[in-house]
Structure 1
Amino acid sequence: MTQTMSPQLRASERYDGFDKMPIAGTWRAGSSGGSKADLDPWSGDTLVEIPLADTEDVDEAFRMAHEAQPAWAAQAPAERAEVMRTAAAIFEARKDEIVGWIVRESGGTVAKGELEWGLVRSVLYEAASMSSHVEGRIMPSDVPGKESRVYRRPVGVVAVISPWNFPLQLSARSVAPALAVGNAVVLKPAGDTPVTGGLLLAKIFEDAGLPPGVLNVLIGRGRDIGDAVVEHPLARMVSFTGSTPVGEGIIKKAGVKKVALELGGNGPLVILDDADLDRAVDAAVFGSFFHAGQICMIANRVIVDASVHDAFVGRFVERVQALTVGDPSDEGTHIGPVINRSQLDGIRDKLTRAREEGAEQVLGGDPGGPSGLVLPPHVLLAGNDAATAREEVFGPVITIIRADGEDDALRIANDTEYGLSSAVFTEDVERGVRFALRVDAGMTHVNDSPVNDDSNTAFGGEKASGIGRFGGRWAIEEFTTDHWVSVQHAGRSFPL
C-alpha cells in the first residue's frame, strides 16, 4: 500500500492547488478553456478561480477509474480500511482548516461546519468497517451435487454527483463507502462548492494513501458535463443527491445502470395535542432554520394541533426573534447567507406568492450583508396550499399550519409529492410511533427534529424524494452487486 505522510505533520501545511482537479491520476486544470470563480456567499470574495472540465476530461477520468478499479478492489479489506482510518485521522488533524472551508464556501455557520466535519469523520470510520463486512452466501439448489454460491462484488466505477448545501458530507457519504468496498469513483461536486464538495476530499484521500486514479474529481457546469457523467458507458452506478427535476432527468439518461437518488423534500414536523411544547419549539427552530433552511430534510412545514396552535406560535416566534443573523464565521451567528443570488430570488418569489395567496407573515425582513444574501428568518401562518407549504423552499422560511386533530394532521403531512424526512411530537411515544408508521416518508423521528444528524443511519425517501438508501449497512448493498457462481460437484445428466 502507498506510504502516507503523518497526518499530524501534513496538517501543519494548509492544502492549496484548488485551481486544479485530480483527473486520471494527475492534478491538472480542466480542458474546457473556461473558468468559474468560487465565491464566498457572505463577502462575495473569490476564493479560487477554477479552469473547468469538459467532456474529454470526463472520458479520461472514467477510463482511468475503470483501469485502476480492479487493483484497488483486489487489495485486502484491511488495506482499504486503513486508507479510510488514515483519512479520518487527517480529518481530525485538519479540523480547523476543514471547518473554515465549509464556512467560507457554503456560507454555513461555525456550528454547521463543525456538525458537517463530525458527520464526515464518522462516515470515514463507518466506511472502514464496511471493507470486511461484504458477505456472500450459499443458496440451496434443487440439482443433486450442485452448489450455488453468491459472491458480493463492487459494482465497478461509481459516478457521484453531489449538491452544495452539505457538500463535504453529501459527497463523502457516497464516496467513502463506495471506495471502501472496492469501487473507483468519478465525483462531480456542485459548482458553488467545488472545494468542500470534492477537491478537499480528494486531497485528504490522496494523503491517506488512495492509489492514483481511483478517485477522480470533475469541476464543470452541469449543462456542459452533467449528461456525460451520467451517460458514460463505464459508469456502472450513479449516486445523486439534489433536486427532484434533475433526479428525474438522471433516471431517463442513465440507461441500464444502478441508481441511488436522494431528491427534494417537504418535511412535516407535526405537533400533536399532548406534545411538550418547549421541547417541540426547540426542535422546530433547529429543524427549520439550521443552515438557513438549506437542507433537504429541513422542516418545511410545522403542523400544529388546533388546541395548542396559538401557544406554540407565540413561543416559536419569540425564539426565532432571538436568533442572530449575519457573518457565519462569528461563532454567535445562527443564520448566515443563502448560497447565491438565484437561490435568494427563488425563496423571495415563493414568499411573495404565499402572501398573495393569503398567508399571514408574522416575522420576516429584507436581505442584507456584504453580498446581500443574508435573509432573516420568515415565519408564515397559512394552509397547506400556500406556495411556501406546497413547494420546497430551501431557505430560512417556515409555514405553520393549524390541524383539526391527529387524523387531519396526518392528512396534511402526507398531502405532498415528497416523502423524505418528517417528525412528530407527543408525550405518548407509542402513539408517536403509530403516527410515524402512517407517514409517507423514508424517515420519521419521534420527539426529534426531521434533520437527522446520525451518520450511521440510512437516508432515503419515498415518492418524489428518491430511491435507494445512503448510510449504514445499506451502503454496502448499494455499492456492491451479487454474482452467482454454481459448482457441479457430481456428474449429472442433461435433458439434451
Structure 2
Amino acid sequence: MMDYSKLGQQFIGGEWRDGRSATRMVDINPYNDEVITEFQIANVDDIDDAYKAAQQAKLAWDQVNPYQKRDILENAVKYIEAHESEISSIIVQELGGTYLKAAFEIGLVKNMIKEAATFPLRMEGKILPSTENGKENRLYRFPAGVVGVISPFNFPFFLSMKSVAPALGAGNGVVLKPHEDSPITGGTLIGKIFEEAGIPKGLLNIVVTDIKEIGDAFVEHPIPRIISFTGSTKVGSYIGQLAVKNFKKPLLELGGNSAFIIMDDADLDYAVQAATFSRFTHQGQICMSANRILVQKTIYEDFVDKFKEKVLTLTTGDPSDPQTIIGPVINHRQADTLEKLIAQGIEEGAVPLVKGKISGRLVEPTILVNVKPEMTVAQEELFGPVVCIIPFETEEEAINIANDTRFGLSGAIHTSNVERGVEMAKKVQTGMIHVNDVTINDEPIVAFGGEKQSGLGRLNGSWSLDEFTTMKWISVNYGQRQLPY
C-alpha cells in the first residue's frame, strides 16, 4: 500500500512541505469517515511560491530536448502502470469510487498522458507568403507560459491530468489546485507521478488549500496566462470573469444536463443498459451523466418497466466491495442537495417510480416519472443517482426537450437508423452527442467541450495543443521595403 501520509503535503518548487497556513484540512473516506491524511494548507504566500517556481522551471524545461520531454511523459505512464493497484485503492478510499470506476479512470489517464507525450514533437510552426515582395512570414508555436489548473472531486485523477499533462507536454509550467475533497487523487498523487517521471524541479506544483484561505489569489496572480477550471457552472462563471478581467485565458469545463433520447426503433434492452450506465456510473457524479431520459411514447411503458427492473438490481454500499455499483456521494452537502431536489421534484408533480433511501452520504437510486421539461429536476444538473424520465411523441419534440436547458455538454440518441440519429444529433445544442452509445465518453484525440453554460474551449488532441500554446508571427524582409516617406 502507498503511504498516504507522504502525500499529505504541498509540492512546491520540487519540495514536499507543509503549507504556511495555520489551518489543517482533514482528508476523509466518504464511506466510513476514516481519516486518510491531514494537510497543513497553503496560504497566499505558498501560491506565490508555486507560481514563481513554475515560471522559473519552465526556463529549464525550454532547454530539454523534445524527445527527452516525450520520454519523461512516457515515464509517468510507466509509473502509473507499476502502481495501478495502489492508485485504485486511493480512488476507492478518497472518492468513494468503485474498483470498476478506478480502472475506468486510470485507463483514461494513461491514454491522456500518452497523447500529451506527443506534444513536444508537434510544436511546429509555418512559413506563409507575404503581400510584400522579398518578405516571408514565419509563425512559431510557443508554450503559453504558466498554467493554473483547478480540478473537481468527481474524476479528479483524470480531470486534473486532462489539463496538467497536455500543458506540460506543450512546454508550460503548471500549478494545480485540487478540490478539497480530493487532494491526493486530484493533486499530490499527480505531483508524485511526475516527480518520479523526472520533470525539472518546480515545473509542476501542487497547492492544497481552501478558498476561504486564499480568496481569488490563485486566479488573480500575475504569472499564469491560462486558468483551466473544471467544476460547476456557477463557480466557473465567476472564475471565467475573474480570469478575463486579469487578461488570462479561461478554459472552462462545466456542468451538464444531458438528454438520453430513445426512439421507438431502438434496441430496447441495449438502451436500458446504456441509460443505466449513463446515469449511475460513479453515483451519477459525472458532468456527462444522463440527467433526462427521453422516451418515445410508443415504447415508454416497456422501457420504464425494464429500466426500473434493471435499476433495482444496482447495489449501494461499500465501494471497496466488488459487488457494489453505487458508492457514497463525496460529501454531506451533495447528499443534502439531492434530497432537496427530489423533494422539490415531487412537490412540483413528479412521481417517484423508485425512491431510494438517503443514509448519510449513501444515496440509493431514485427514478422520477411524470416529469415535465420545465420542472426543477429537469432543468438542474442532478449530480447523483437520480434520474428523470420524460415521454415524447415526435423527433422534433425530443430535440426541443433536449435543447430546453441552459447546459449543452453531452447526450445520446438510440435508434436502429444510424443516419436518422446523426441528423437528430446535429440539431441538439451540445458539444458532444453519441448515437447508440452512452453519454459518458472521452477520448484522447477527440475534441471535448461544451456549448452554452457547459463551458468554453475544447480539450484533447490538437485542441489541447492549441489551447496551451500561443502563435508568434515573425516576419523577415530579405530586401528593402518601399516606404512612402
- Among candidates 373, 376, 398, match of residue 361 of structure 2: 373
- Among candidates 293, 302, 318, match of residue 311 of structure 1: 302
Aligned to 1:6: none
Aligned to 1:260: 251
User: Pairwise mapping of residues 437-476 of structure 1 onto structure 2 (< 5 A)?
Assistant: 437-476=426-465
Distance 1:338 1:366 in 2: 13
Q: Is the 8 A contact 2:127 2:136 kept in 1?
A: yes
Distance 2:18 2:431 in 1: 40
Q: Is the 8 A contact 2:443 2:460 kept in 1?
A: no
Distance 2:320 2:178 in 1: 23
Aligned to 2:217: 228
CA deviation digits over 1:309-342, x for unaligned, max 9?
1111111010000111110011111000000000
**% identical equivalent positions:** 47
The answer on 1:20 being equivalent to 2:9 is yes
Aligned to 2:120: 131
Aligned to 2:387: 398
Distance 1:391 1:256 in 2: 31
Distance 2:461 2:308 in 1: 37
- Among candidates 41, 44, 47, match of residue 52 of structure 1: 41
Deviation at 1:13, TM superposition (A): 6.7
Aligned to 1:106: 95
Q: Is the 8 A contact 1:163 1:242 kept in 2?
A: yes
**Which AA in structure 2 matches 1:80?**
K
CA deviation digits over 1:347-370, x for unaligned, max 9?
1110000000000101122223xx
User: Pairwise mapping of residues 168-207 of structure 1 onto structure 2 (< 5 A)?
Assistant: 168-207=157-196
Distance 1:323 1:455 in 2: 30
**Which AA in structure 2 matches 1:103?**
V
Greater mean alpha carbon deviation, residues 252-261 or residues 28-37? 252-261
**Which AA in structure 1 matches 2:50?**
A
The answer on 1:35 being equivalent to 2:24 is yes
**Which AA in structure 1 matches 2:187?**
G
**Which AA in structure 1 matches 2:179?**
A
| DSSP-derived class of the 1:464 partner | helix
Deviation at 1:389, TM superposition (A): 1.2
Distance 1:458 1:47 in 2: 36
| DSSP-derived class of the 1:418 partner | coil
Aligned to 1:283: 274
Q: Is the 8 A contact 1:351 1:387 kept in 2?
A: no
Q: Is the 8 A contact 1:136 1:150 kept in 2?
A: yes
CA deviation digits over 1:15-72, x for unaligned, max 9?
6512211112221101111011001000111100111001111111111111111220
Q: Is the 8 A contact 1:14 1:97 kept in 2?
A: no
Distance 1:259 1:365 in 2: 39
TM-score computed with the length of structure 1 as normaliser: 0.95
- Among candidates 322, 332, 354, match of residue 331 of structure 1: 322
TM-score computed with the length of structure 2 as normaliser: 0.98
Deviation at 1:453, TM superposition (A): 4.2
Q: Is the 8 A contact 1:31 1:53 kept in 2?
A: yes
Aligned to 1:156: 145
Q: Is the 8 A contact 1:131 1:180 kept in 2?
A: yes
| DSSP-derived class of the 1:343 partner | helix
Distance 1:452 1:129 in 2: 22
Q: Is the 8 A contact 1:30 1:53 kept in 2?
A: yes
CA deviation digits over 1:205-225, x for unaligned, max 9?
000001110001110112332
CA deviation digits over 1:57-91, x for unaligned, max 9?
11111111111112202311111111110000000
**Which AA in structure 1 matches 2:272?**
V
- Cα RMSD, aligned residues only: 1.2
Could you tell me which runs of 5 or more consecutive residues in structure 1 were left unpaired when the two chains were aligned.
Answer: 1-11
- Among candidates 271, 289, 297, match of residue 288 of structure 2: 297
Greater mean alpha carbon deviation, residues 103-112 or residues 449-458? 449-458
User: Pairwise mapping of residues 66-105 of structure 1 onto structure 2 (< 5 A)?
Assistant: 66-105=55-94
Distance 1:215 1:349 in 2: 40
Aligned to 1:363: 354
Q: Is the 8 A contact 1:15 1:203 kept in 2?
A: no
Distance 1:471 1:180 in 2: 12
Distance 1:73 1:178 in 2: 13
Distance 2:300 2:341 in 1: 24
